Amino acid sequence: MFRVVAALLVSVPMSAWALVPPDYQEPPSDFTAEIEAGLQLNTGNTESSSFNGRTKLVYDTEQFRQEGTFKLYYAADDEKTTAEKYDVQLQSSYKLDNDFSWLDDGYVFGRGDFTLDRFGSYTQISTVSVGYGFDAISNSDTKLSLEIGPGYRYNMPIETELEPNPGAEKDIIVRTAAKFEQKLQEYTSLNADLTAEVGENNSTLTLDMNYKNTLFQDWAFKIGVNIKYTDIVPIGTKQTDTITTFNLLYTFQ
């Protein structure tokens, strides 16, 4: 029997064995995605639970880059819901022709940011903007992108006893952003996005920062903090909102 199997193996052309080399890997994909979630339960003296989730989708080709990020924050105690917030961020970027040195690593973009926050100082926030961005630093360990452009913002203040029927606030803004990525070690990285929206009637500053540690293969543990400062808020509400998350993240492409 062994001789028959050996004869069959020898008779197979060598070109057939070369079709799938032992070190073969799938070619890189233009599409990547990140899915993360965190859950917290408290029992005993305090009965509460909280959940947050985030999904990021990126389609990056030679000419275009499409990004979409979706976030959910929810918390409740044994009597009522205490936090409920939804964020959607969409951006489409067109990469400029790099034949001109002054356009190296540059792109133009259109962007939309939408927030529903049941307990925030503003329950609805919608911002659309366009602009120009470029990669100030781009190597295997460090990336820094800078963006600037005009936009339009719509805010709906929360209802208060002093203002039970508030009117919407509309503002023309200038948006600037810095997106930083730093690979600390082979399995750890630091990311920080700083965004400023300056308008005639109101201004905001947002820092979204996280530390990621890969556990195995495509799984990672992620610690994140989001801090948003709003210059003018309804009476009785705070200017600064902070969200801290501890999540398990899965990346696939």
Give pLDDT tens digits for 184-206: 998 999 999 999 999 999 999 99
What pTM does this model have? 0.83
- Residue 210 main-chain phi, psi, to 5 deg: -150, 155
Q: Kindly calculate the radius of gyration of the chain based on its CA atoms and give it in whole angstroms.
A: 24
Query: How confident is the model at residue 14, as a pLDDT?
Result: 46
Helix (H) or strand (E) holding 122: strand 122-138
244 pLDDT higher than 50: yes
Number of Cα atoms under 13 Å in the Cβ half of residue 181 = 9
Query: How confident is the model at residue 44, as a pLDDT?
Result: 63
Do the strands 142-157 and 122-138 form a parallel or antiparallel pair, or are they unpaired?
Answer: antiparallel
What's the pLDDT band for 26 if we cut at 50, 70, 90?
low
Is 32:251 a contact under the CB 8 Å cutoff?
yes
Q: What is the CATH number of domain 2-252?
A: 2.40.160.40
Mean model confidence pLDDT for the chain: 86
Interval 206-215: pLDDT, tens: 999 999 999 9
- Residues 6 or more apart from 110 whose CB is under 8 A from it? 91, 92, 128, 129, 130
Angle (CA) 115 120 121, round 5°: 110
Every domain of the chain and the residues it spans: 2-252
Tokens in use for 104?
A: 């190296």
Query: How confident is the model at residue 8, as a pLDDT?
Result: 44
